Amino acid sequence: MDHCSASSPPLSRDEQPLLAGGAASSPPCTIARSQPGVRDGQDATERRRFYVALRLKYALILLAAVAWVALSVKLSQPWLQELSKPLGFGLALFIIAFIAYVPGFMNAFLIGSILSDRRPSRRHFDHLPDVCVLVACYNESENIADTLVSLAAQDYPGRAEVVVIDDGSTDDSLSIARRQARLLSNDRVSIRVLAQRRNGGKSKALNRGFAETSQALVVTVDGDSYLRTDALRKIVERFLSDPPGTVAVAGSVLVRNSRENWLSRSQEWDYFHGIAAVKRMQSMYHGTLVAQGAFSLYTREALQQVGGWPECVGEDIVVSWALLETGARIGYCEDACLFTKVPTRLGQFSRQRQRWSRGLMEAFARHWKLLFKPRMTTLFIWWNLLFLPLDLVYTLAFLPGIVLALFGYYWIAGIMTLLVLPLAAIWNIVIFRVQRRMFHAQDLRVRRNFAGFLFYSVGYTMILQPVCVMGYFAELFRLRKSWGTK
C-alpha cells in the first residue's frame, strides 16, 4: 500500500534568502475575516453543494455509530457468555466493551464524519496580516538551522517576525540560531533570538516570546521542524476562512524522518492516518481538541484571555482546552504541512508519548467542566476520557489474551475479536484516500511504506498503549516532568 512522502522538499537556490535585515515587531491589530484582498468567485462551487445542517449531520452519524455498537453487542453474546465463565459477567462485559464496543463506535463515527466532511473551503488572499512565529528551542543544534531556513523561505504575503527562544540549551543551538538569524532575515521575514538563562520548560519559553511580540496572530513551531513554503500562508488563510468564533487553528504535522527505521516508518502512518483523521473530524464539529505546539496558530487576544501557556508538561493540550472552555472554536488546516522529526529509539518514543498522556490528565484536572459543556465537541472530551480504560484493558487484558490464545484459550483474543477489524480496515482505506487527495493537490509524492503499515496495523499499539499507561501512572504519582524527548 502506498503512503505519504514524509521527507520535506528541499529548497532550491532561488528559495534561499540572501538578504540580511533587522527584526521588527508590528503594532497590535484587529483581525477581520472579511478581507479586501480575498479573491472573488471562490465559494460558487461550495454554494452548489447539497447542504445538510451540521447538527443534523452530527446526529445522523452518531445514530449510525450507535447502531453499529448495537449490532456488535448482539453478535458478541456468545463471546460474553464464554468470557463470563472464568471472569464473571461484570468484568467480562467491561473487557469486551473496551476491546470491541467502544473502538467500534469510535471507528464508525470517524468514518461517517470523514466521508461527510464539507467544511468551508480555504479562501485565497492577496494580502495577509502581520504574524509572529514563536520557536521554542532546547538542544536542537542538529535541526534549528533547517527550521529557520524553511521559515525564511515562506511565501507569506505579509510580514512575519520569527522569534527563537532558546531555553537554556547545553549544546550549540543558541549560537547556530543567532548565526542563522543574521544570514536569513530579509524584508519579509525577520528573525531574532532570545536566550533564557536556564532551562525552564516550553511554556516559559513560549510565554517569553509572547510577551516580547505584539502581532495579533501568533504561530508556534517546534525547533526540529521543516515547513513547506506555503504552510504559514495556508494556516492564516484557513483561520480567516473559518466560521466566527475561531481563535486557533492546528496545522498538519507529518513525519520528516520516516525512512530511518521501523519505528519512524510506523509513526508516519500514525501522523498521516490517526492524528490527521481525528483532527479533521473534530474541526468539523467546531472543536479540534489540541492545537499542537509543533505547528498551530492562535489569536493574541484569546491567549491573553486564558493567561498564555500554562506551566505544565502538556501545555498545548491544556491551553487548547482553556480556549474551548471559553466557548471558542479551534480549527484544523490539513494542507498547511509541517514535517517534524519523530523519535527513532524506543526510549525517546516512550518519553514523548508518556508526556502526551500526562498532558491529557493535566487537561482533565484543570478543565473537567468541559465534560458537561453543551456543545458538539463534548463528545470528544468524553472520547478522550475513555482512553484511560481503553489503554488499561488493552495492556492488562488484551495483550495477556493474545498469550492465552497461543496456548489454545480464546476467552479474550479469538474469533469474536475479529468483529473490530472490518471497521478498522474501512477507516484506514477512507482516510488514506482523503489524505492522498490532499497530498496530490499539493504535488506531494506518495511513496510506498508497506512495512511501516504492517507494523502500524499489527504491533504499534502493543508498544503505544502500554507506554500511555505508564504516562498515566507517572502523572498519578507526580513523577518528575520534562519537555524534552532526546
- For residues 439 and 4, the answer to whether their CB atoms sit within 8 Å is yes
pLDDT of residue 12: 35
State the Cα–Cα distance between residues 8 and 199, nearest whole angstrom: 30
Residue 105: pLDDT band with limits 50, 70, 90: very high
pLDDT of residue 486: 52
pLDDT of residue 89: 96
Residue 52: pLDDT band with limits 50, 70, 90: confident
Least confident of 173-182, 266-275, 447-456: 447-456
pLDDT of residue 256: 93
Which amino acid is it at 480? R
Residue 429: pLDDT band with limits 50, 70, 90: confident
**Is there a domain that residue 407 lies in?**
no
Residue 442: pLDDT band with limits 50, 70, 90: confident
State the Cα–Cα distance between residues 260 and 330, nearest whole angstrom: 33
Apex CA 223: angle with CA 10 and CA 463, to 5°?
95
State the Cα–Cα distance between residues 346 and 352, nearest whole angstrom: 10
Least confident of 192-196, 227-231, 253-257, 445-449: 445-449
Residue 483: pLDDT band with limits 50, 70, 90: low
pLDDT of residue 446: 63
Statement: residue 459 has pLDDT above 60? yes
State the Cα–Cα distance between residues 386 and 393, nearest whole angstrom: 11
State the Cα–Cα distance between residues 399 and 412, nearest whole angstrom: 9
Statement: residue 36 has pLDDT above 60? no
> Beta-carbon neighbour count of residue 416 at 10 Å?
22
pLDDT of residue 21: 34
State the Cα–Cα distance between residues 165 and 204, nearest whole angstrom: 10
Tens digit of each residue's pLDDT (9 = 90 or more) over 297-312: 999 999 999 999 999 9
Bridge partners, 3 (sequence order): 447
Q: Could you report how far apart the first and last alpha carbons of the chain are, in Å?
A: 31
**Is there a domain that residue 442 lies in?**
no
Residue 58: pLDDT band with limits 50, 70, 90: very high
**Is there a domain that residue 449 lies in?**
no
pLDDT of residue 162: 98
pLDDT of residue 485: 57
Statement: residue 23 has pLDDT above 90? no
**Is there a domain that residue 190 lies in?**
yes
**Residue for cell digits 501545555?**
315
Residue 382: pLDDT band with limits 50, 70, 90: very high
Percentage of the chain exceeding pLDDT 90: 67
Q: What is the mean pLDDT of the chain?
A: 87
Statement: residue 70 has pLDDT above 60? yes
- For residues 53 and 118, the answer to whether their CB atoms sit within 8 Å is no
Structural domain for 134, as ranges = 2-31+122-372
- The grid coordinates of residue 448 equal 510506498
State the Cα–Cα distance between residues 445 and 255, nearest whole angstrom: 14
- For residues 289 and 317, the answer to whether their CB atoms sit within 8 Å is yes
348: helix, strand or coil:
helix
Residues 6+ apart with CB under 8 A from 412: 83, 95, 99, 397, 398, 400, 401, 402, 404, 405
**Is there a domain that residue 429 lies in?**
no
**Residue for cell digits 488514506?**
432
Highest mean pLDDT: which of 79-83, 97-101, 251-255? 251-255
pLDDT of residue 416: 64
Tens digit of each residue's pLDDT (9 = 90 or more) over 142-201: 999 999 999 999 999 999 999 999 999 999 999 999 999 999 999 999 999 999 999 999
Which pTM value belongs to this model?
A: 0.86
State the Cα–Cα distance between residues 289 and 330, nearest whole angstrom: 7
Statement: residue 18 has pLDDT above 70? no
Statement: residue 277 has pLDDT above 50? yes
State the Cα–Cα distance between residues 426 and 406, nearest whole angstrom: 28
pLDDT of residue 217: 98
Number of domains in the chain: 1
State the Cα–Cα distance between residues 141 and 485, nearest whole angstrom: 14
Q: Which of 332, 323, 318, 324 is nearest to 374 (CA)?
A: 324
- The grid coordinates of residue 66 equal 450507535
**Is there a domain that residue 231 lies in?**
yes
Q: What is the CATH number of the domain that holds 362?
A: 3.90.550.10
Percentage of the chain exceeding pLDDT 70: 87
**Is there a domain that residue 320 lies in?**
yes
- The grid coordinates of residue 201 equal 520548560
pLDDT of residue 436: 84
**Residue for cell digits 490517526?**
274
Query: Per-residue DSSP letters for 73-136?
Result: HHHTHHHHHHHHHHH-HHHHHHHHIIIIIHHHHHHHHHHHHHHT--PPPPPPBS----EEEEEE
pLDDT of residue 47: 47
- For residues 371 and 381, the answer to whether their CB atoms sit within 8 Å is yes
State the Cα–Cα distance between residues 339 and 250, nearest whole angstrom: 14
pLDDT of residue 50: 63
**Is there a domain that residue 280 lies in?**
yes
